Amino acid sequence: MTGHSIVSILVLASTLLSLDIEPFRQRRLVVRDKLGPRSALVLFTSEVHRRNGDVNHEFRPDSDFWYLTGHPEQDTRLILTGRDMSEFEELPFKNEIIFAKPRDPRWERWNGKRLGEYGARNSLGFQAFAISDSFETVLEAIIPHVDTLFTNRMDLRNGENSPTVSRQLPGSVPDGIVIVDAGTIIHPLRHVKSPEEIELLIKAVEITGKAIEEAMTRTQPQQFEYNSQAIIEFVFSDLGSKRPGFPSIVGSGPNSTILHYTENDRLMRNGDLLLIDVGAEYKMYTADITRTIPVNGRFTPQQKEIYNYVLKVQQTVFDSVEVGMTLGDLTRIAKNYLRNKGFDRYLLHGVSHWLGLDVHDVGGRGALIKVGTVFTIEPGIYIPENDDSFPEAYRGMGIRIEDDVLMTEEGAVWLSAQVPRGISQIERIMRRGRHGFRRGRQIQK
């Protein structure tokens, strides 16, 4: 699977990022074609959130906004229309315009370069550019010419009650305007991945798999969970991932039974299992892979027994995947398998979710598996510490195995097949020793 050639270099802060603008341009064309003559789409990117004091959390663009723009900066907005707006004298664009902050040498000296108008037009291919401060004026001028507004801010009508929106609109959108979630147009497009998107997901999976394998070689008793987390996230960065796609879950012993455990601060002990659920984000697309490993390098007989149940149900689900199924269908297959083994009540979650720009990507449980969709298969068995229906050696044991799957014309394909998941594979890797990182197998960045 090969994508388009790289056609531009985008300056993101002080880092050069290769970006092919054509997929973004084509997506905007598709969306504009879906808008009626009296419809407009208005997208806001994510907000910057305060972490503490005068420090903010890292900014990441809103996924829908990125999908249509490729614009990486905060305080930006997008308007698309189904009608040529240039016939109206007060409107400075035809049918697409992006609003962003202008270049500012003083601000950039502290914070890094902005794209500005030149970057938006030439690096991202936008027809029209305006500074962020003019957004309210342009939107007010559009409102008389539309009756339907698609947006990712469903609270626009109640702007006076929303601190976020009241900074962006001088008043409420009139009652005569129908406000519709922009996802009704964008999410069906995002649901089926293009070849370019699949390439990015494959790289995210490669990075994640190598990080997990490195953690296998270095994890041992009397380390803390965050030591394994640090190994994983170092490899993410070392191989070209800017950040994790979600907070890393690294839970040992009884913490392996907590589905979204992220404290990652327990001292790991001999005989513990360690559940590692992580995903590298690569150019905005994230992997999601889970492996459960023995901290001391060898599974106990009881751990092997439960692990093999999970492994077999995962393979059973994979072998059953067909175009036209839903994720709910896959969960029912897993539940039925485990019910026959007496373990169905210990599967606490659905066994699949969509994957893409978001770790729990758009589509929902009712969406159909189609050629080009990417999803996880992640069964698990979680036996509480206080469950006296099991002998003590089974209690407090959580085992999840999660892999990423692409649906193709020929059938389902494991994207993460290279990440060791069999008991003998894992034990063999953990016996190799923990002698530092193997950094020779770089992924092309």
DSSP symbols for 253-308: GGGGGSTT-----PBP-TT-EEEEEE-EEETTEE--EEEEEETTS---HHHHHHHH
SS3 12: strand
The span from the CA of 397 to the CA of 198, in Å, is: 35
SS3 388: coil
Active site residue 402: yes
Q: Which two tokens stand for residue 405?
A: 């799957």
Active site residue 288: yes
Q: Which residue in the list 382, 403, 404, 421 is annotated as catalytic?
A: 382
SS3 403: strand
Q: Which residue in the list 60, 121, 360, 434 is annotated as catalytic?
A: 360
Q: Which residue in the list 353, 361, 403, 404 is annotated as catalytic?
A: 353
Active site residue 147: no
Q: Which residue in the list 206, 225, 233, 288 is annotated as catalytic?
A: 288
The span from the CA of 49 to the CA of 44, in Å, is: 15
Question: Is the separation of the CB atoms in 138 and 132 below 8 Å?
Answer: no
Question: Is the separation of the CB atoms in 288 and 405 below 8 Å?
Answer: no
Compute φ and ψ for 92, nearest 5 degrees. Answer: -90, 30
Q: Which residue in the list 33, 54, 175, 409 is annotated as catalytic?
A: 54
Question: Is the separation of the CB atoms in 220 and 297 below 8 Å?
Answer: yes
Active site residue 307: no
Active site residue 67: no
Active site residue 87: no
Q: Which two tokens stand for residue 139?
A: 């939107």
Active site residue 382: yes
The span from the CA of 291 to the CA of 274, in Å, is: 8
Q: Which residue in the list 378, 403, 404, 421 is annotated as catalytic?
A: 378
Active site residue 400: yes
Q: Long-range contacts: 297-302, Cβ < 8 Å, 24+?
A: 297/220, 297/427, 297/430, 297/431, 298/427, 298/430, 299/423, 299/426, 299/427, 300/271, 300/393, 302/391, 302/393, 302/394, 302/397
Active site residue 277: yes
Question: Is the separation of the CB atoms in 343 and 381 below 8 Å?
Answer: yes
Q: Which two tokens stand for residue 180?
A: 């519709």
Q: Which residue in the list 145, 349, 395, 434 is annotated as catalytic?
A: 349
Active site residue 54: yes
Pairing outcome for strands 39-44 and 15-18: unpaired
For the annotated catalytic residues, the residue numbers are: 54, 260, 277, 288, 349, 353, 360, 378, 382, 400, 402
